[in-house]
Structure 1
Amino acid sequence: MARSDRLMRLLEALRRLPKPVTAIRLAAETEVSTRQLYRDIATLRAGGVLVDGAAGYGYTLTEDPALPPQSFSRLEIEALMLGVASLGDLGDDALTTAGRNALARIVATLPDRQARQAAHATIRSWRPAEPRAVVTIDLDLLREACWDEFSVRIAYRDTHERRTEREILPLGMSYSPRTLMLVAWCLVRGAYRTFEVPRIEALERGASNFRPRRVQLLREYVTLRTAEWKMREQQTRPPT
C-alpha cells in the first residue's frame, strides 16, 4: 500500500473509532505492524496533526488540519447520525462504510461539545429484521455507470423466471428495506424500465455514452410517472 494511502486510512480510523484507540486496533485497521503504526503516528504528528496519547494507552485525534471546523445544531447532528445509521438497514456494505467514513470526518471537525452530542445521539433507527434480496453483480460498476453516464449490458431474470439480455442506460438506483431498484432507459425496448437489481445475473460495461442526457432522461421519467400516479389516483377516487 502506498504511504499516502496508508496515512489516509490511519486518519480515517482515528476519526471513526471510539477514543482512545489502541495501537493494536489501529495497526489492524491499516493492515500494518505495530512498529510501522508508531512510525505513521510520528509522521502525522510531524505533518501538523495533533494526536494525543502514547503506546500502551491509546491515541486520540484532537485536531485535524485537513478538515475545516464546522458547526451544527443539536437537531442537525441527530439527523446526520440517524441518516448514516439507516444506511445499515437500506444500503449495501460499500455505501454503508462510505457513509460512516464521511460522518467520521464531519464529527472530527466539530467542537468538543458537539462531538459529545454526536457520540450520545438520542434518536435511533430500528427496523424489524427482514430478509433482503442478495445482490450478486458489481455495484461499484453500476454506480460508476450512473455517475459517468455509460451504458451497461445486463442479463436479467424477471418475476416469471424469463431471462433476457439487453443494453440499458442506467439512470439511478432506489433503496428500500427489501430490495434495490434500478431505473434505466432500455435500448432494446426504447422505453423506460425498472429492474430489481438482485435479479440482474450478469453486468458488463456497454459501448454507449449518453452524457449529458441522464438528468433530462430522469426528469422525463419523473414527469411520466407522476402523470401516471395522478391518473391512477383519479380513477380510484370515489365519486363526490
Structure 2
Amino acid sequence: MTRTQRLLELLQLLRSYRYPVTAMTLAERLDVSVRSIYRDIETLKMQGVDIEGSAGIGYVLQSDYHLPPLMFDAHEVDALILGLHWVMRHTDPQLEAAARNAVAKIHAILPENLAQQINSPSLMVAPTGNEGSLRFLTDIRSAIHQRRKLELVYTDKDGTASSRLVWPIALGFFDAVRVLACWCELRQAFRHFRIDRMQQVAISEQLCPQSRYKLLKEWKSAEGIAQAKTY
C-alpha cells in the first residue's frame, strides 16, 4: 500500500468512527506503527483535513468534512450485498424496497469488475420459512420511529390471548422468528413478544413517556447486554 493509499484509508477509517479513536487502534486497523499514524494525521491536517484530537486522547474527523466518493473492495461488496439480500428476504415490503434501492445505488458507483458481484452474486440467502414472522413489521417499525405505544393482542405459547399496551424498543431478527423487545405496561417490566404470535397490532396515539435511547439502554442493562459501539 502506498502512502497516498494509506492516507485515504485513514480518512475512510476516521469517518467510520463517531467518537475519538486512539492512534493505537488506527495503527492496528491499518497494520502500521503508531508513529506512522501520528505522521499521517499531521500530513492530513496540513492538507486542510479537519481532524480534532491529540495523542493520548484520540482523533475524530469533523462531521462536515467531505471525503471523496466511497469505494469498496471485493469483501466489502460481498458483505453489503449479502446483508441487503437478507433484508429483501426476511423483512417487510417497505424495508425490502429500501434494500433494493440501496443495491441500485451501490451498483451505480462500482467499477465494472465489482459490479459483477451484484449481477452474479456468489453468496445466496434463503427465504424465511415462517411468513407469520413478517406480519406487522411495518407498523412496529413505524411505532418505534414515531416513539408511539403499541396496542397488541397476543397469544402465548399455551394459547392464552391477552391485550397489551407496550413501549416498543427494538426488533430482534432470529433465524426462525422475529421478536419485539418492549416495556409492557401490564407487567410493568421489559417483555419480549414473538411477531408470529401477535393477532392484532395497532399504533396508539399515545407517545412513550421515555426516549427510545433511554429505554434501549435500560433494556440492555436489564438483559446483561454490554453497551458496545457498533463502529
TM-score bracket, shorter-length normalisation: 0.5 to 0.7
Change (3 A) 1:212 1:110: farther
Aligned length: 158
Deviation at 1:194, TM superposition (A): 0.2
Deviations 1:81-125, CA, capped at 9 Å, x for gaps: 111122345323432332122111121122333323433443x13
Deviation at 1:140, TM superposition (A): 1.8
1:186 aligns with 2:184: yes
**Partners in 1 of 2:129 and 2:110 — Cα distance?**
37
1:70 aligns with 2:41: no
- 1:206 maps to which residue? 204
- 1:20 maps to which residue? none
- What is the letter of the counterpart of residue 70 of structure 1? L
TM-score by length of 1: 0.58
**For the aligned residues, what is the CA RMSD?**
2.4
- 1:172 maps to which residue? 170
- 1:104 maps to which residue? 104
Deviation at 1:153, TM superposition (A): 0.8
Matches within 5 A, 1:143-154: 143-154=141-152
Structure 2 unaligned residues grouped into runs of 5+: 1-67, 226-231
Which portions of structure 1, spanning 4 or more consecutive aligned residues, are displaced by more than 6 angstroms? none
**Partners in 1 of 2:217 and 2:134 — Cα distance?**
29
Structure 1 unaligned residues grouped into runs of 5+: 1-67, 228-240
Deviation at 1:133, TM superposition (A): 4.8
Matches within 5 A, 1:16-35: none
Matches within 5 A, 1:49-60: none
Among the aligned pairs, what percent are the same residue?
25
Change (3 A) 1:204 1:95: same
State which drifts further: 176-185 or 200-209.
200-209
- 1:113 maps to which residue? 113
Deviations 1:137-184, CA, capped at 9 Å, x for gaps: 533221110111110111111111111012100111011221110001
Change (3 A) 1:72 1:148: same
